[in-house]
Structure 1
Amino acid sequence: MIDFWHILILSLIQGLTEFLPVSSSAHLILVGLLGDWQDQGVLMDIAAHIGSLMAVMIYFRRDIFRLLCGKQNQLLIQLIIATLPIGVAGLLFAGVVSDMGRSMAVIALSSAVFGVLLWWSQRLAKQAELDNKTALLIGLAQCLALIPGASRSGVTLTAGMALGLNKTDAARFSFLLAIPTLLMAAAYAGLQWYQQPVTVDYSAVGSVIVLSFLSAWLVITVLMKFIERIDFVWFMAYRLLLAFLLLLVLI
């Protein structure tokens, strides 16, 4: 049985870090490693992803409506192009990623390296147009998010800005790209749960979904409103501090 504080922290971590460029997977892993808690289990991970997915879909509901109505066919094509690499990479390297996820050294190193790249990339952000080639390169970069500590939103933001997109356009495409990516992650986790089902604590699952949704929606709203004013040096500093603390634990 997962207790209230575990539910609260799990939900807030998933919701806050799924769309902040600081790696949700790293923080979820660290909850278990440093919090002396049992692994929250696949079902709780699914619930947390569902909450985050609901938040991004509701925030970008107008964009999704236009995509479904065929009013943004080019953007739909670009999202499909950008999604394909992570789908293939996830199937090919799921086992390797699972093994890496147990290593705090990997989390520390990737947190530091990708944090520096995030800070560096904002210097290249301009006013370039999103085209199919850019979408593909962002999609390929998203595969790096399979490395624990890299951050899906972080690597896609980094790639978008490095390719010349301004911060707002890079963030918007990153968040929209989260929709099919989170769907695939939830489906994969759902398959794992189906193969090894466990008793469902419906109150815990519901709590995780709601809390993850609320925290994720708050992050998306704030980031999209203030993204052009945010200096990513602060995220780099946080990630470097996180890496340093993890290394202290390892020593």
Structure 2
Amino acid sequence: MDLSQITLLSLAQGLTEFLPISSSAHLILAPLLFGYELQSLAFDVAVHLGTLSAVMLYFRRELIGMTGAMLGRAQHAQAQQERRLGWLLVVATLPLLLLGLPLKALLEVLREDEHLVALVIAATTIGFGLLLWLADWRGRRVKDEYALDWKAALAIGCAQTLAIIPGTSRSGITMTAGLMLGLTREASSRFSFLLSIPTILLAGMVETRELLASPTPVDWLALGVGAMISALVAYVTIHFFLRLIERISMLPFVLYRLLLGGIILFLIL
């Protein structure tokens, strides 16, 4: 991989992982559009670990508070809320543990056919984009993430499993579910970002195991540069997204998804 390819893919991952526009779709489409070979599993692992470090750094206070409350005795109201939110994230992660590997096997089959992959990405980009618009338009947007119950957390977790299909967007589908359940835009985004931590960590563990079993040589410099770029871009993206989302709504991201899906269809049909 040359520096331009590393930079492009790292920027794509860092910018799109936490926006509701699908990072997996952009990581698959970028090599196809710019004539690169599809990047290695090792590079995918590296840039995902970069975004994981960014979201953990951004929410470090929440993580410390939840971990302390879950492991110790939550004696005051704030600690009780933090402990409850921590367990809700555990509940929301369970569907991925049960369904993640079967759906991942489906994804590997799709990746073997570039035309089919592009068609799936176009369909999911448009379809789930419209669903995000509907949820943002019709959602009551009155609750924060602490108002969720275990059933709502489980529903968001079930929705998250669909993100294994390219073009769906993990953040997009979890925000959509959160909005449908009455969360505000910021609360649905915060819960989605916090949920990404165990999700990316689990996915990274599975991919790292596959990487260690592969005989393919690893370009450690490319992986390090990719991880650093994706981490920096992801941190900035999270910061500005949470500051602006209540004012700008989900509409710009919906319009982007519709445009992107339309362009893909135009190119492949």
1:148 paired residue number: 166
For the residues of structure 1 that align with 2:236 and 2:215, how far apart are their CA atoms? Answer: 32
Is the aligned partner of 1:127 residue 2:142? yes
Larger radius of gyration: 2
- The 8 Å contact of residues 127 and 164 in structure 1, kept in 2 or not, is answered as yes
Q: Which amino acid aligns with 2:109?
A: D
Which structure 1 segments of 5+ residues have no match? none
> 1:189 Cα shift?
1.0
Pick from 216, 230, 235 the counterpart of residue 212 of structure 1.
Answer: 230
Equivalenced residue count is 250
CA distance in 2, matches of 1:96, 1:134: 27
For the 8 Å contact 1:125–1:167, the answer to whether it is kept is: no
1:78 alignment counterpart:
88
TM superposition shift of 1:198: 2.5
Displacement of 1:125 after TM fit? Answer: 3.7
Distance between the aligned counterparts of 1:226 and 1:29, measured in 2?
A: 28
Q: Is the 8 A contact 1:157 1:174 kept in 2?
A: yes
Q: What is the Cα deviation at residue 188 of structure 1?
A: 1.3
Separation (CA, whole Å) in 2 of partners of 1:197 and 1:188? 16
After TM superposition, give the deviation of residue 126 of structure 1 in Å.
Answer: 2.0
Identity %: 43
**Residue deviations 1:58-97 (CA, integer Å, cap 9, x gap):** 0000000001101321111100100010122112222112
> Equivalent residue of 2:17, what SS?
helix
SS state at 2:135 partner: helix
* Map of 2:205 onto structure 1: 187
Do structure 1's residue 116 and structure 2's residue 130 form an aligned pair?
A: yes
Whether contact under 8 Å (1:100, 1:147) holds in the other structure is: no
For residues 32-51 of structure 1, what are the structure 2 equivalents within 5 Å?
32-51=31-50
2:29 and 2:128 map into 1 onto residues whose CA distance is: 18
Partner Cα separation in structure 2 for residue 202 and residue 98 of structure 1:
24
Q: Between 117-126 and 95-104, report the one with greater CA deviation.
A: 95-104
**Which residue is 1:232 aligned to?**
250
What's the TM-score, normalizing by structure 2?
A: 0.90
**Mean alpha-carbon deviation: is it higher for 206-215 or for 32-41?**
32-41
Partner of 1:11: 10
Separation of aligned partners in 2, 1:67 and 1:20: 24
Separation in structure 2 between the aligned mates of residue 227 and residue 37 of structure 1, nearest angstrom: 34
What TM-score, normalized to structure 1?
Answer: 0.97
| Residue-by-residue CA offset, 1:113-152 (whole Å, 9 max, x unaligned) | 1111111111214223211111111001101111110000
Of 192, 198, 201, the residue aligned with 2:216 is 198
* Alignment deviations for residues 16-67 of structure 1 (CA, whole Å, 9 cap, x no partner): 0000000000000002222211121011001100110000000000000001
Residue pair 2:185, 2:249 contacting (<8 A) in 1 also:
no
Deviation string, structure 1 residues 193-220 (Cα, Å, up to 9, x no partner): 1111322222211100110001100110
Mark the runs of 5 or more structure 2 residues left unpaired by the alignment: 70-78
Between the aligned partners of 2:187 and 2:252, the Cα distance in structure 1 is: 20
Distance across 1 between alignment mates of 2:215 and 2:223: 14
Query: How far apart, in 2, do the equivalents of 1:125 and 1:147 lie?
Result: 28
